[in-house]
Structure 1
Amino acid sequence: MKRWLSKAEVVLGNHSDRLNAINIFPVADGDTGTNLYLTVRAAVASLGGTAPAPTDPGNDVGALLSRAGQAAMEQARGNSGTLFAVFLCAAAEPLVGKARLSAPLLATALNRAQIRAWSALSDPVSGTMLSVLEAAARAAQAVDDSQNGDDSNHALGLSLDAVVEAAFQAVVRTEDELAQLHEAHVVDAGGVGMLLVLDCLRSAVLGEELQDELLDGLHGYKLQDPHIHEHMPADDGVEVMCTISLSPLNAAILRQRLDEMGDSVIMSQVGGTTGQDDDDESTVEASYRWRVHVHVPDPEPAVALIRSLGDPTDIAVSQLAVPRDTRQEPAYNQESSSVPGQSRHEY
Structure 2
Amino acid sequence: MQTKIAANAQAMRRWLNKAETALGNHSDRLNAINIFPVADGDTGTNLYLTVRAASDALDALDPSVMDVGAVLTHAGQAALEKARGNSGTLFSVFLCAAAEPLAGQQRLSSALLATALHRAQIRAWTALSDPVPGTMLSVMEAASLAAGEIDALHPGDDSNHALGVTLDAAVAAALAAVVSTEDQLDALQAAKVVDAGGVGLLLILDCLRSVVLGEELQGTLLDDLHGYSVQDPHIHSSMPVDEGVEVMCTISLSPLDAATLRQHLDELGDSVIMSQLGGGEAGDGTYRWRVHVHVPTPGPAVELIRTLGTPTDMSISALSDTSGHRSQALQEAVDSGGHER
Q: TM-score, normalised by structure 2?
A: 0.91
Q: 1:261 pairs with 255, 268, 274, which one? A: 268
Amino acid of the structure 2 residue aligned with 1:253: T
Q: 1:103 pairs with 95, 99, 110, which one? A: 110
The equivalent of 1:94 in structure 2 is 101
Q: 2:51 pairs with 36, 40, 43, which one? A: 40
Amino acid of the structure 2 residue aligned with 1:311: T
The equivalent of 1:203 in structure 2 is 210
Q: 2:339 pairs with 330, 336, 345, which one? A: 345
Structure 1: segments with no counterpart, 5+ residues? 277-283, 326-343
- 2:247 is paired with a residue whose SS is strand
Amino acid of the structure 2 residue aligned with 1:93: E
Shift of 1:50: 8.1
* Alignment partner of 1:173 is 2:180: yes
The equivalent of 1:244 in structure 2 is 251
User: Is the alpha carbon distance of 1:202 and 1:324 closer, same or farther for their aligned partners in structure 2, counting shifts above 3 Å?
Assistant: farther
Q: 2:62 and 2:74 mapped to 1: Cα distance?
A: 14
Q: 1:148 pairs with 125, 130, 155, which one? A: 155
Q: Deviations over 1:54-105 (max 9, x none)?
A: xx4xx10000000000000000000000001001000000001000000000
Q: Deviations over 1:278-326 (max 9, x none)?
A: xxxxxx4x2111000000001011001001100110110000014399x
What is the correspondence of 1:130-141 to structure 2 with a 5 Å cutoff?
130-141=137-148
Q: TM-score, normalised by structure 1?
A: 0.89
User: Residue 244 of structure 1 contacts residue 291 of structure 1 at CA under 8 Å; is this kept in 2?
Assistant: yes
What is the correspondence of 1:223-238 to structure 2 with a 5 Å cutoff?
223-238=230-245
The equivalent of 2:33 in structure 1 is 22
User: Residue 314 of structure 1 contacts residue 346 of structure 1 at CA under 8 Å; is this kept in 2?
Assistant: no
Kindly tell me the number of residue pairs found equivalent between the two proteins: 317
Shift of 1:346: 4.4
Percent identity at matched positions? Answer: 71
Q: 1:132 and 1:275 mapped to 2: Cα distance?
A: 34
The equivalent of 2:330 in structure 1 is none
What is the correspondence of 1:315-334 to structure 2 with a 5 Å cutoff?
315-323=314-322
* Alignment partner of 1:9 is 2:3: no
Q: Deviations over 1:85-134 (max 9, x none)?
A: 00100000000100000000000000000000000000000000000000
The equivalent of 1:183 in structure 2 is 190
Structure 2: segments with no counterpart, 5+ residues? 1-11, 325-337
The equivalent of 1:337 in structure 2 is none
Shift of 1:49: 5.7
Q: 1:159 pairs with 160, 166, 175, which one? A: 166
The equivalent of 2:307 in structure 1 is 308
The equivalent of 1:331 in structure 2 is none
Q: Deviations over 1:6-25 (max 9, x none)?
A: 00000000000000000000
Q: 2:322 and 2:56 mapped to 1: Cα distance?
A: 30
* Alignment partner of 1:85 is 2:92: yes
Shift of 1:212: 2.0
- 2:279 is paired with a residue whose SS is strand
What is the correspondence of 1:285-300 to structure 2 with a 5 Å cutoff?
286-300=285-299
Q: Deviations over 1:255-297 (max 9, x none)?
A: 0000000000000010133432xxxxxxx4x211100000000
Amino acid of the structure 2 residue aligned with 1:287: T
Q: Deviations over 1:203-255 (max 9, x none)?
A: 00000010121101100000010000000000000000000010000000000
Amino acid of the structure 1 residue aligned with 2:294: H
